[in-house]
Amino acid sequence: MPTAILILAEGAEEMETVISADVMRRAGIDVTIAGVEGTESVVCSRNVVIKPDTKLSEAVSKDYDVVVCPGGLKGAEHLAKSEAVGKLLKKQEAGGHLIACICAAPLALKSHGIGKGKKITSHPSVDSQLKDAGYTYSEDRVVVDGKLITSRGPGTTFEFALKIVELLCGKEKSDSLVAPMLVKM
């Protein structure tokens, strides 16, 4: 069974968090939601409260097939500042495993020196920061460059999560989730 860790920080975008975790779990991926600050409930960008499964400091001892970083500007800033997040992303990149960031979360890639020069996308509000950092920027809804998956924002979350499923479980599995969820692709 493929494994995923979704990193949850204060101010995360709740749609990107919940939809990503839900779609991956529907595909049979073992998803751990890890709180940057521990297991206390996290207040997301629109005041939805989510309780992590575990704390990031404990979860990082395991290996994962994908590390998922939801956006939300405040949440992304927390991911960018976290040493533990940086350590996990560097370990993931060095191991040749998937890293998936949506919305403003690619700021964490920039901050921790991940995927330099790769083709990425993000929420338009942070595109200039990523362009200035030397990434090849695209306005595509979901971008895959090697083991790096990026996406634009809340409205692209289903496509983002389904791309993660496709890369971990195959296109047939990803496609099988679309009709039951009534997702328009």
pLDDT digits (tens, 9 = 90+) for 115-166: 999 999 999 999 999 999 999 999 999 999 999 999 999 999 999 999 999 9
Q: Backbone phi, then psi, for 95, in 5-degree steps?
A: -80, -5
Among this protein's residues, is 40 annotated catalytic? no
Flag whether pLDDT at 71 surpasses 90. yes
Dump pLDDT digits (tens) for 15-45.
Answer: 999 999 999 999 999 999 999 999 999 999 9
Nearest to 56 by CA among 75, 82, 37: 37
Dump pLDDT digits (tens) for 80-94.
Answer: 999 999 999 999 999
Nearest to 56 by CA among 4, 5, 98: 5
Catalytic residue among 16, 93, 101, 112: 16
Catalytic residue among 78, 103, 166, 169: 103
Q: Specify the CATH number of the domain 3-181.
A: 3.40.50.880
Flag whether pLDDT at 185 surpasses 90. no
Among this protein's residues, is 16 annotated catalytic? yes
Nearest to 12 by CA among 46, 38, 56, 58: 46
Flag whether pLDDT at 103 surpasses 90. yes
Catalytic residue among 44, 69, 93, 123: 123
Among this protein's residues, is 123 annotated catalytic? yes
pLDDT, residue 74, reads 97
Alpha-carbon 116 to chain mean position:
17
Mean pLDDT, the chain, rounded, equals: 97
